[in-house]
């Protein structure tokens, strides 16, 4: 069964509003989670690394004030898309790994965001 749960799976919001996406590790603690964005027929692009109890680390070109990340507990990270615009419409996916270096990343189900 799923070990990383992401919610919601689909969301439609109006331009200018904010949307929060949750990512939970279900049966393990994750000090680090990752947020990806994926455009149609493209691969996953890492947006940021979410660190429990500290600030997220953003990849180059990703606006930290637009994509707010909070990792308040060892099992939950949230991504908030603030003041959303149509160009933010995309598929957002989170991932987490169990402790240890050589472990696979488990992915959430993904969130299809449509901004109208």
Task: Check residue 106 for interaction with other proteins (CB under 8 A).
Answer: yes
User: How many CB atoms within 10 Å of residue 21?
Assistant: 23
List the one residue from 41, 65, 87, 116 that touches other proteins (CB under 8 A).
Answer: 41
Q: Does 91 bind other proteins (CB under 8 A)?
A: yes
Quick one: which of 69, 93, 113, 115 contacts other proteins (CB under 8 A)? Answer: 93
From the list 12-20, 61-69, 73-81, 108-116, the region that binds other proteins by CB under 8 A is 108-116
Q: Does 54 bind other proteins (CB under 8 A)?
A: no
Does position 35 interact with other proteins (CB under 8 A)? The reply is no
Taking phi over 0 as left and psi of -120 to 50 as alpha, with beta for the rest, 88 belongs to: alpha
Pairing of strands 10-13, 19-25: unpaired
Q: What are phi and psi of 31, to 5 degrees?
A: -75, -20
Residue 108 binding other proteins, by CB under 8 A: yes
Of residues 55 through 84, those in contact with other proteins by CB under 8 A are none
Beta carbons of 52 and 73 less than 8 angstroms apart: yes
């Amino acid at each position: 069964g799923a070990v990383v749960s992401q919610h919601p799976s689909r969301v439609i919001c109006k331009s200018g509003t904010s949307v929060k996406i949750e990512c939970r590790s279900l049966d393990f603690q994750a000090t680090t989670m990752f947020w990806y964005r994926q455009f149609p027929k493209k691969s996953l692009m890492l947006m940021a690394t979410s660190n429990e109890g500290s600030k997220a680390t953003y990849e180059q070109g990703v606006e930290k004030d637009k994509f707010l990340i909070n990792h308040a507990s060892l099992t939950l990270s949230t991504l908030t898309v603030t003041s959303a615009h149509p160009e933010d419409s995309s598929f957002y996916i989170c991932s987490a790994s169990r402790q240890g270096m050589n472990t696979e990343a488990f992915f959430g189900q993904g969130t299809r965001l449509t901004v109208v």
